[in-house]
Amino acid sequence: MSIKTARRIRLTLSYLVLLSAIAIVIYPILWVIGSSFNPGNTLSSSTIIPENATLTHYKKLFAETDYLIWYWNTLKICFITMVLSVIFIGLTAYAFSRYKFVGRKNGLLLFLILQMIPQFVAILAIYILAYQVGLLDTHFALILVYVGGLIPMNTYLAKNYYDTIPKELDESARIDGAGHFRIFWQIILPLSKPILAVIALFSFISPFADFILASILISSDEKMTLAVGLFNMIKNEFGNSFTLFAAGSVLVAIPIGLLFLSLQRYFISGLTAGGTKG
């Protein structure tokens, strides 16, 4: 067998592998898009290429369900979580990276342990606490819980990044008379924009993808997030409103997917930085 034939076989096999991978990846996505245009309501009538494509489900989604409100709730919660997380995490990580203070080492150890215990193992306690302070069924409670849960892991991420910024910069600024906060604000902050962007991205996406905390803390229909709303839609009467669910999913997946694809290198760099150092 000549080298050329071997090469041809290898390439053909490679393309076959890639094509089948693409088929497996794309099938569920096309299927749900197809289903959302299907005239029927049920799962059984869902096909990848609808015979009489219709927009009914999209209209129904806006007219008869709280879909738009869920969408707005979710975006609002994600956005506020993102802003608060970046502020808290940026400050905390800076202190851990630059200052030697009593409790630093134990604090870091605590964060390391906390980031491994998933927050929602303590859902019962979170629920009771929210109940006692009267924050049950409010977005405020949800946001606080999200921000708190994001702190340990992302603080590490930011701290590791700050550690790579040379300390000589701070020192020379200090000699020039800059105060603590000014050094942070005018020197460290501009240099750490990339990692803060990554953290912002993570803290926007993770409340978006959360189902469990939102499903426990929020009970009224008009305060639900997309994950809970869509889950109820598919769970309550399985099969009966499947196409409606499909339409809802498509409208979630497309904007988030595009946002993700355009920012994917930040995700990769963020996740890689979190894992390799530490």
Q: Which of 101, 175, 177, 190 binds another protein (CB under 8 A)?
A: 101
Is residue 99 close enough to count as binding another protein by CB under 8 A? yes
Q: Which of 38, 41, 119, 192 binds another protein (CB under 8 A)?
A: 119
Q: Judged by CB under 8 A, which stretch of 55-63, 64-72, 108-116, 187-195 contacts another protein? A: 108-116
Site for another protein in 137-176 (CB under 8 A): 144-145, 147-149, 151-152, 155-156, 159-160, 163, 167
CA distance 230 to 210: 12
Is residue 95 close enough to count as binding another protein by CB under 8 A? yes
Q: Which of 9, 28, 68, 189 binds another protein (CB under 8 A)?
A: 28
Q: Which of 59, 81, 62 is nearest to 70 (CA)?
A: 62
For another protein, which is the closer residue by CB, 62 or 239?
A: 239
Is residue 117 close enough to count as binding another protein by CB under 8 A? yes
In whole angstroms, the minimum distance from the beta carbon of 210 to another protein comes to 8
For another protein, which is the closer residue by CB, 53 or 209?
A: 209
Q: Which of 43, 83, 187, 191 binds another protein (CB under 8 A)?
A: 43
The DSSP secondary structure of the chain, one letter per residue, reads: --HHHHHHHHHHHHHHHHHHHHHHHHHHHHHHHHHHT-SSSSSTT--SS-SS---HHHHHHHHHSSHHHHHHHHHHHHHHHHHHHHHHHHHHHHHHHH---TTHHHHHHHHHHHHHS-GGGGHHHHHHHHHHTT-TT-HHHHHHHHHHHHHHHHHHHHHHHHHHS-HHHHHHHHHTT--HHHHIIIIIHHHTHHHHHHHHHHHHHHHHH--HHHHHH--SGGG--HHHHHHHHHHHTTTTSHHHHHHHHHHHHHHHHHHHHHHHHHHHHHHHHHHH--
Is residue 79 close enough to count as binding another protein by CB under 8 A? no
Is residue 107 close enough to count as binding another protein by CB under 8 A? yes
Q: Judged by CB under 8 A, which stretch of 51-59, 62-70, 91-99, 194-202 contacts another protein? A: 91-99
Site for another protein in 198-237 (CB under 8 A): 205, 208-209, 211-212, 216, 227, 230-231, 234
Q: Which of 9, 48, 169, 189 binds another protein (CB under 8 A)?
A: 48
Enter the tokens of residue 138.
């409010």
How many residues of this chain bind another protein (CB under 8 A)?
Answer: 104
Q: Which of 12, 39, 47, 140 binds another protein (CB under 8 A)?
A: 47
